[in-house]
Amino acid sequence: MRVLIVDDDIVDRESVRRSLLKSSFNCSITEAMDVDTALSMCNAQYFDVILLDYRLPQRNGVELLLELKLKHRLNSKSEVVVMMSNSEDEDIALHCIECGAQDFLLKNEITGAKLRRTILQAQKKGALEQELLDSFKRVKKLAEQDSLTHLANRYLFDVTLKTEVNNNQRDLSGLAIILFDVDNFKLINDTLGHHTGDELLKGVCARITDVLRGTELFARLGGDEFAILLTNQHSHVDVARIANRIQLSMRAPFIIDEKEVKTTISIGISVGQKDKKATAEELLKFADIAMYRAKREGRGLISFFEETMHEQTQRRLTLENNLSKAIVNNEFFLVYQPVFNTSDMSLTGFEALIRWQSPTELISPAEFIPIAEKSHQIVQIGRWVVSQAIQQIAAWNTLLTQPLKMAINLSGAQLRDKEFIPLVERLCRTHNVSPSFIEFELTETTLLEINDVTHAFLNDIIALGCTLALDDFGTGYSSISHLHNTPLSCVKLDKSMLPNGQHNPSKHDRDKKVTLMTGLVKMLQTLDLVIVAEGVETEENEQLCKSLGITKVQGFYYDPGLSASDINQRYVNNDTFDIYKTKNGRGLRSEKEHII
């Protein structure tokens, strides 16, 4: 038996040691003079019995007792603590027992026989306490755990939710409830039997557990209804992503007793708000309302209680899900915006712009490109764009005596696509296009992501014979270092640099813009870079660009993005295939051209 004596008085320690030796116990004795030393020893090894003095220097024995309990040192079946003191104060003895000691001894009454009897009784008491603790844990588990799925049950979920709400009343925005049930579960139970129904519920829980992070409280509220309590959420989109992962996990059928069972779940979500108080019951009710709305709208859906957030998030998730189908279903198409040489206003090439015509609407690139980038679908989309654009410029250049150039935008994710450069090389070879007529545009934001791998990618692009352009220069993270650290041939000035009349700028603001633009153009000219002005909308814009010596222009003053057939009609004469410039004169207003 290992015994630890904790006492600052060397005489008392020796007295207790002698009594232990007379107690007929076969024991190994260790001594400590203070709480910190004793605690360190307890952390380093296990003791069957701790004989602990109540009064110790700096920190008393009760503090050690409480720390041991805090560290769960006293949960072992055989570990016991006997407190010792010279004081006959019954309140002290009672306090020690209440704090977890198994017994209390007066030092002047300690003998070998009494110490033996006390330790044996303390061990029996400790064993009984451990048995009660184990029993309590078993009962607690039965009270808080669902017997079928082994998830938390309704009781534990309600208690935890109330605690979280009470602790976060000033700001509930970090709390969210995902509530769902299995669609048509009663029909499954009635037709396939309760055993199949139970196995289906267990399978549903297993799949959902796999897609959760493990920090959420996942509970079965009853029947086929389940709830997930999320804490420390950052946004509605984060919650929606979790719900979307849950939905996706249900796509594959369940195999139960060699039978294929397909099911869906309807999800309702309620999210706490920063400036709006709500009870635990209300948050759960909101999720319940949202869940039944999802059922009414067709089952297998996700519905937010907050209508505006629900609509926004649902749209984002819908677009994200539909993006993967868009290429297969031929929903993407390219338009081409002409680029002109300012010296003679001849057509020199095009910029390829992607558009998405879904079955229900024309979706703006400004909306779907960020989603594609975040969901990593931009790589596949980017391959499609470069394939279509190179095929198109090849078709035009076979008809024209003066070849045109095609500008194609790249995102940061594409710079890490190992298949991209081989694809470009293969396309150019297959369609007999010189890589020198292909230009890839990068935004300044993309250049912020440049590292050794992506820098090598850009060098490989140059080695292939293509050129690189810096797009939207003058916005975002403008940096002169980009101009000499990246192998650029061209810089495209963002349309915001031009003093467009539609914004009604004052003469002072217009003059400032012209001065800034003049300075930038002079700097870029010294670097021997081709300069393209985007967003030219008026004759005044065109004249300004010419006066500054800007190399090329593009914008709505000439044409927006046009389909290939419109380009053929407007810019390619089917008899002579001469290139000419046409102003559409339609006075089209500027709109954000988010491009890929």
CATH number at residue 60: 3.40.50.2300
Does a structural domain hold residue 512?
no
- Kindly state whether residues 242 and 383 are assigned to the same domain: no
Q: Which of 301, 321, 341 marks a domain boundary?
A: 321
Give the whole-angstrom CA distance, residue 462 versus residue 439.
10
- Kindly state whether residues 68 and 103 are assigned to the same domain: yes
Q: Which of 298, 321, 344 marks a domain boundary?
A: 321
Instruction: Please give the mean pLDDT across all residues of the chain.
Output: 86
Cite the DSSP H helix spans in 145-226. 154-167, 185-192, 194-211
- Kindly state whether residues 134 and 176 are assigned to the same domain: no
Does a structural domain hold residue 355?
yes
Does a structural domain hold residue 222?
yes
- Kindly state whether residues 285 and 313 are assigned to the same domain: yes
Structure tokens given for 570: 């407007």
Residue from 276, 173, 279 nearest 232 by CA: 173
Q: How far is CA 322 from CA 261, 409, 410, in A?
A: 25, 22, 22
Structure tokens given for 142: 């039965």
- Kindly state whether residues 316 and 335 are assigned to the same domain: no
Give the whole-angstrom CA distance, residue 353 versus residue 330.
16
- Kindly state whether residues 219 and 306 are assigned to the same domain: yes
For residue 288, the surrounding DSSP H or E stretch is: helix 280-296
- Kindly state whether residues 8 and 80 are assigned to the same domain: yes
Q: How far is CA 263 from CA 247, 260, 575, in A?
A: 10, 10, 61
Give the whole-angstrom CA distance, residue 31 versus residue 38.
8
Contact 351, 595 (CB under 8 A): yes
pLDDT digits (tens, 9 = 90+) for 509-554: 788 889 989 998 999 999 999 999 999 999 999 999 999 999 999 9
pLDDT digits (tens, 9 = 90+) for 137-173: 677 667 788 889 999 999 999 999 999 998 887 788 8
Residue % of the chain over a pLDDT of 90: 51
Which has the minimum average pLDDT: 294-308, 361-375, 429-443, 456-470? 294-308
Does a structural domain hold residue 539?
no
Does a structural domain hold residue 527?
no
Q: What is the pLDDT of residue 323?
A: 93
Instruction: Supply the CATH number for residue 413's domain.
Output: 3.20.20.450
Q: CA dihedral in degrees (426, 431, 437, 440; nearest 10)?
A: -40
Structure tokens given for 406: 């095609």
Region 437-465: what's the mean pLDDT?
Answer: 88
Residue 239 has pLDDT above 60, yes or no: yes
- Kindly state whether residues 86 and 193 are assigned to the same domain: no
Q: How far is CA 139 from CA 135, 143, 162, 321, 368, in A?
A: 6, 6, 22, 45, 53
Does a structural domain hold residue 341?
yes
- Kindly state whether residues 158 and 270 are assigned to the same domain: yes
Q: Give residues with Cβ within 8 angstroms of 537, minimum separation 6.
A: 495, 498, 500, 502, 555, 556, 557, 588, 589, 590
More confident residue, 324 or 358: 358
- Per the DSSP assignment, residues forming a β-bridge with 218 are 228
Residue numbers of the domain that contains 474:
330-492+559-571
Does a structural domain hold residue 31?
yes
Number of independent structural domains in the chain: 3
Classify 79 as helix, strand or coil: coil
Give the whole-angstrom CA distance, residue 442 versus residue 486.
10
- Kindly state whether residues 85 and 122 are assigned to the same domain: yes
Residue % of the chain over a pLDDT of 70: 90
- Kindly state whether residues 426 and 342 are assigned to the same domain: yes
- Kindly state whether residues 102 and 160 are assigned to the same domain: no
Region 203-230: what's the mean pLDDT?
Answer: 94
Q: Which of 143, 165, 184 marks a domain boundary?
A: 143
Instruction: Supply the CATH number for residue 184's domain.
Output: 3.30.70.270
For residue 221, the surrounding DSSP H or E stretch is: strand 217-222
The residue whose two tokens read 């980009």 is 482
Q: Give residues with Cβ within 8 angstroms of 47, minimum separation 6.
A: 2, 3, 4, 30, 41, 79
Does a structural domain hold residue 185?
yes
Region 390-417: what's the mean pLDDT?
Answer: 92
Contact 32, 57 (CB under 8 A): no
